Amino acid sequence: MRNFLIVGGGVAGASAGYFLAESGTVTLLEMERVPGYHATGRSAALFSEYFGNPAVRALTTASRPFLTTPPPGFADGPLLTPRGVLTLCPVGAAEQFAEMLADGLAAPTPVREIGHDEVHRLCPIVRSGWYSRAMLKPAAMDIDVDALHQGFLRGIRARGGQVITSARVRSLSRRGGLWRAATDAGEFAAPIVVNAAGAWADEVAALAGVPPIGLRPLRRTAFLVDLPEDIGLPENTELPENTDLPQGVGAARWPMVTDVADTFYFKPESGRLLVSPADATPMPPGDVRPDDLDVAIGVERLQRATTLEIRSVRHAWAGLRSAVADDTPVIGEAQDAPGFVWLAALSGYGVQTAPAVGRIAAAAATRTPLDVAYDHLSPERNHLERHGTPMSRAAFLTERWK
């Protein structure tokens, strides 16, 4: 049996561990007391095949079968439930809207343009006059993030692996063909280590002497607001013919609403509205907190696009979406560090792509061919563009490996 170490117990590390546990013994090391404390536990929980660049969309689509039909016993209920996304075109953004519409027509379930009446039926608080056109992305879904994450972690344990919390990896070195991790919870060793440390992935690489990928953690804010009690759809409102849209009553079945320039979004969440100003502020890795100004910007954008008047914000939080320059995940073995496998830079897509990225990371770790090519995700792609000249990379390696 082979052994694998995984650094990071967010949804990415948990997914990689789940698939790796099919071929060996997994030890997942998480620095917090609770896995999912960082990005994974702070997301907006949306699955959208209309979102991200083509590489991201392919990973999202590849994740759909697992999410719609997980293995028996993986979760108690469905992992995906219908939501839909309504994208509005504010005055002046016509060109961007036309591009997004054309692009969305090629999605597995195509987008469709809808008129003002239908917008009003789907989400009666949208302010008429604020937007000129609208499109519906009908197949976007809510993800039960906790159920997905816990399902992966349970699977690791069920296959004989361990999930060790309060185990921050403080040093990582390769000796005698093994990666040795010194953590707050003791020392662990295995020939393969998967770096799934989220915003800290470049820091973990530095511990191991592996060149960084140029990760940029970007803070995103979200908050909850109350809805007026009388708001919602009348009980017998006719819905458009689309079985993918939520079939409930009232605000709970509104789609997520956003604008074509991605300056805000809101969606129903446990009887309230989850709102985000879609900010992306560069930050060092850490336990980030929301900035009052970002919350105020979110409130202002929400009030501009809807008829709501917000008097108070219930609860605000922020998390880090960590990306590299091409906004494409980085998965694969580091060229100059045998057995060191990257699973990072999942940006705003790490939950919706988790099954596919975990499977790919497991294939990279076991050097098993997959039925899909994933060279374009390799940590070596564009390395020189991100980190300067060949000289600087060579100098870095010489410095690190001497």
Rounded Cα distance, 184 and 166, in Å: 7
Work out whether 7 is an interface residue with ligand FAD (CB under 6 A): yes
Cα–Cα–Cα angle for 161, 162, 167, nearest 5°? 150
CB of 304 to ligand FAD, least distance (A): 21
CB of 195 to ligand FAD, least distance (A): 9
Rounded Cα distance, 316 and 288, in Å: 11
**Cβ pair 275, 299 in contact under 8 A:** yes
CB of 279 to ligand FAD, least distance (A): 9
Residue with tokens 């075109």: 89
What is the per-residue binding string for ligand FAD in 255-274, x denoting contact by CB under 6 A? --------------------
Of residues 40, 87, 258, 263, which one binds ligand FAD by CB under 6 A? 40
Rounded Cα distance, 239 and 251, in Å: 13
Of 360, 273, 307, 395, the residue nearest 119 (C-alpha):
307
Restricted to residues 116-175, the positions that interact with ligand FAD (CB under 6 A) are: 168-169
**Interface with ligand FAD by CB under 6 A: which range of 18-26, 29-37, 89-97, 109-117?**
29-37
Of residues 23, 32, 114, 281, which one binds ligand FAD by CB under 6 A? 32
Of residues 17, 19, 27, 30, which one binds ligand FAD by CB under 6 A? 30
**Cβ pair 56, 227 in contact under 8 A:** no
Distance of CA 214 to the CA centre of its chain: 18
Cα–Cα–Cα angle for 381, 173, 190, nearest 5°? 90
Restricted to residues 177-196, the positions that interact with ligand FAD (CB under 6 A) are: 196
Nearer to ligand FAD, 233 or 346 (CB): 346
CB of 180 to ligand FAD, least distance (A): 14
Largest CA distance in the chain: 72
Work out whether 349 is an interface residue with ligand FAD (CB under 6 A): yes
Question: Which spans of this chain sit near ligand FAD (rule: CB under 6 A)?
Answer: 7-13, 29-32, 35, 37-40, 42-46, 168-169, 196-200, 204, 220, 222, 276, 319, 321, 346-352
